[in-house]
Amino acid sequence: MKRSKFINLAVMRKLPATRPSFIVKPLVIAVSTAILSACSEPQDDAIVIESVDDCVTKTTFNEQQCVAVYQNAEAEAARTAPKYNSRQDCEEAFGYEGCRANSNGIFTPIMYGYLFGRMMDTNRPSSVYKYNQRGSSYRDSIITADGSVIGKAGQNGYKVNQSAYKPKATVSRTVSRGGFGAKASAKSSWGGSKSSWGG
């Protein structure tokens, strides 16, 4: 067998695979972008409006505008608030006389107020509630319909993420006893995962 005198070893060498590095780079960029966007989510200085009079006093809205926003907040609360089968279960979380029955005999917490800030949607304001379970470290906290704690009741203002204003899921299922307090440290929603009570 004849051997060639001219062998190009460089051509015959196995080249390293370049595909994985091509895949990894966009993935790293995507993850980095996601982290940066989460860290840089716009924040808003918000206050909690507890009544129409409170709105007239603390905002630039006139009475007619304040009435309209408050009515919208109550409609949102009826749609998104956690729902309980009994007054006792509801009041365990939201305090004595902190709940009311709807037309179907289901109990919901009474809306404490709504978030008012630059990012708010006046057509669908974010309703908030005052959590009152005895012995809970979250007692006297103001929470949104999805169970996020924004601070203690009575503060002059709150720092909230843009997500606090996003539309919340309609709640159709009832919550079992224990609710928010047992899961708040894990940033969960009423009675466990969102799927157990929401949309």
Please report whether residue 110 resides in a domain. yes
Tell me the pLDDT tens digit for each residue of 81-102: 999 999 999 999 999 999 999 8
Tell me the pLDDT tens digit for each residue of 48-74: 999 999 999 999 999 999 999 999 999
Exposed/middle/buried for residue 177 (C-beta within 10 Å: 0-12, 13-18, 19+):
middle
Range of the domain at 187: 44-196
Query: How many domains are contained in the chain?
Result: 1
Please report whether residue 11 resides in a domain. no
Please report whether residue 14 resides in a domain. no
> What percent of the chain lies above the pLDDT cut of 90?
53
Distance CA 110, CA 100 (A): 6
Distance CA 142, CA 116 (A): 14
pTM as predicted? 0.71
Question: What single-letter amino acid sits at 110?
Answer: I
Please report whether residue 15 resides in a domain. no
18: Cβ contacts below 8 Å, ≥ 6 apart: none
Choice among 8-17, 41-50, 106-115 with the minimum mean pLDDT: 8-17
Please report whether residue 7 resides in a domain. no
Please report whether residue 105 resides in a domain. yes
Is residue 10 very low, low, confident or very high in pLDDT (cuts 50, 70, 90)? Answer: low
